[in-house]
Structure 1
Amino acid sequence: MQIEYMDHSSIDKKKWDEAILSADNGLLYACSWYLDCIAPKWDALIANDYEYLFPITVKHKYKLPYLVQPFLAQQLGLFSSNRITESILHKFINKLPSYSYEINLNYANTTQEGIQMTNLVLALDKPYEQLQSAYSKNTLRNIIKAGSKGYRFSDLSFDAFIKCYQTIDHRDKKVNQLLISKVIKAGFDRGYIHCCGLISPYDSVDAVLAFGNFNGRISYLFPASSEQGKQNSAMFMLVDELLKLYATKAGWFDFEGSMIEGIARFYRGFGAIEQPYRVLKQLRPSFLIGKI
């Protein structure tokens, strides 16, 4: 196998996106347009005419190259429609253009190296009623609570979502909110990111979510609840509505985490199971600390 390092200008993005879409482990984060948003000028390791793809997000400090997992991409690593063995994976890792890196592999990249991270997913291969039977009592109770408030589930336009999201969620700095908006708009325009919300009888939007729909995987990307929505457990109902919508029509619901126990408990309440991924770190100088 000949692995070629290709700089950004040399990458055929049409072939890249076709390969990511057909890859068994293809993820939204690895699409060229997504990478263009979060890591402009990204490069790649490519083998066998786009059969194997490994996006490279390089930064420089003191003229030294180093690799850092970009913001808003939980998993990258090696993608292919062929079987990815540990041996093939390490051939790519050995070709990384820096001795210093902190990178998140994806769930299909098998290795015993690095740190295992938790990601929770739910298989959508069963009818909704069967999915619901695996909900925890607490989850069912909160869905009933939210349902009693008269909410209606609705698609949202990009503009309506961003207005609600930025009003509700003040955790992210302005620069991050601009990047989040850029990613959502790029995905929305291509039909890979969708926006929805719960609207109260008083026309307030109390919970919103921008979610990905790519390669049979529904990704829980950008959720937010108002204070009223939190009190009414609105996000429980919003996730439940999506599971009704995509049961038997998609492969997985990807909750995107979490290592935080309270959040993980919320996800597990819907019957989610672990699908871990690995984080690799090497020669970590002080300026990389906290960048992952």
Structure 2
Amino acid sequence: MIKYLRQDEIDVDKWDQCISHSVNGMIYAFSWYLDIVNNRWEALVEGDYERVMPLTPGKKANINYLFQPPFTQQLGIFSTSHLTSQVVNDFIKAIPSKYKLIEINLNTYNKPDSQTTGFTPWLTHELDLISDYDTITKNYSNNLKRNLKKARQSKLSISEHVRPEELITIFKENKGKELKHLTNYHYDLLRRLINVMVYKNTASVIGAYDETNSLCAGAFFVFSNRKAIFYFSATNDTAKETGAMPLVIDYFIQKHAHSHITLDFEGSNDPGLARFYKSFGATQITYPHLFLNKLNPLFRFGLSVIKKLKN
């Protein structure tokens, strides 16, 4: 039986134990992570926490809705045993009816029935690191190999002693300027998440420095449940000219090759990024994006008019 639990009813110890032992556990689903990205999170729980699904609610204009929190690519149903499409459908049906608008991401192990409405497949890319480094690099694209050669000739140096704040600064001064939806709230949230993950010793920061010993690229990797997530990265113009980011990722792959770890590139639906991730030999995998609008037709129309007036 699937039970709906408000936050104060959730046994966080049992919750985290479930995520730790789940066949599809992810760092996004641990209670401490959910506390940071949505401190009002609730849950659907089956049995004695054999299967769980976090619910991340919001409320505007007196409308209860579920949304995907920032820096949380996948959530959905997590289970200590085999997951079927029927289980996925049962959990979706168990979402309380008070949530009139739902836009959330499930995870790669959640396979809804093909006839179930509201689901769209979104993309991520994963690279199994169980093979040795030489075997993995045989699947590198020719373009990636050229970029790595260029990066090595550019006299870049790699370091694991990079302060995460430096990465955030580079990102804000470069790519961040194009992403107008990112506010100080998002950067503060990212800092908090990164600091906690560093404190919990579940993260690795790798950076590339140019000839003047200036940081030009870096990536923040997060480890959980035999996965390493390419969680956050940043580059400046020098990195783009020298191929620094491919060198950072290649360094990570070389260090962790021949281990029971899967590198999750955490995306992407963007064709350019998808092509970049595939150049390392990564496999394209889908996860379900769920959108359900249960608002009455008149209210839906009102919302659409408001959105048009804002644009």
Task: With the length of structure 1 as denominator, give the TM-score of the two structures.
Answer: 0.93
Give the match for residue 111 of structure 2.
110
Alpha-carbon displacement from aligned partner over 1:140-159 (angstroms, at most 9, x marks no partner): 110111111222221135xx
Task: Return 267-276 or 170-179, whichever deviates more.
Answer: 170-179
Displacement, 1:89?
Answer: 1.2
**Paired position in structure 1 for 2:85:** 86
Letter matched to residue 254 of structure 2: K
Q: Which portions of structure 1, spanning 4 or more consecutive aligned residues, are displaced by more than 4 angstroms?
A: none
Question: Residue in 2 aligned with 1:173?
Answer: 183
CA distance in 2, matches of 1:84, 1:255: 23
Larger Cα-atom Rg: 2
Go from structure 1 to structure 2 and tell me whether the alpha carbon gap of 1:247 and 1:86 turns closer, same or farther (over 3 Å shift): same
Q: 1:268-279 residue pairs with structure 2 within 5 A?
A: 268-279=278-289
**Aligned 8 A contact 1:166 1:177 in 2:** no
CA contact 1:33–1:186 (8 Å) conserved in 2: no
Please list, as runs of the form range in 1=range in 2, the aligned pairs for 1:50-69 lying within 5 A after superposition: 50-69=49-68
1:70 corresponds to: 69
- Give the letter for the 1:248 counterpart: H
RMSD: 1.7
- The one-letter code matched in structure 2 to 1:48 is G
Residues 200-279 of structure 1: matches in 2 within 5 Å?
200-279=210-289
| CA displacement at 1:161 relative to structure 2 | 2.0
Q: CA deviation at 1:164?
A: 3.6
Q: Distance in 2 between matches of 1:278 and 1:167?
A: 32
Q: Which residue of 2 aligns with 1:146?
A: 151
Deviation at 1:124, TM superposition (A): 1.1
Q: Distance in 2 between matches of 1:89 and 1:15?
A: 21
Please report the TM-score for the alignment, with normalisation by the length of structure 2: 0.88
Q: Could you tell me which runs of 5 or more consecutive residues in structure 1 were left unpaired when the two chains were aligned.
A: none
Q: Secondary structure at the match of 2:100?
A: coil
Partner of 2:201: 191
CA offsets 1:192-250 (integer angstroms, 9 cap, x no match)? 22212112332111111111111111101110012111111100000000001111223
Q: Give 1:100 shift.
A: 2.1
Cα 1:168/1:72, change in 2 over 3 Å = closer
Q: In the aligned structure 2, how far is the partner of 1:151 from the partner of 1:33?
A: 37
Q: Could you list the per-position Cα deviations for residues 91-134 of structure 1 after superposition, in whole angstroms to 9, with x for gaps in the alignment? A: 11111122321111100001124101111111111111100000
In structure 2, the partner of 1:27 is: 26
% same residue: 30
> Secondary structure at the residue paired with 1:169?
helix
AA paired with 1:100? L
Cα drift, residue 15 of structure 1: 1.9
The residue matched to 1:106 in structure 2 has which SS? coil
Distance verdict in 2 for CA 1:214–1:3, change over 3 Å: same
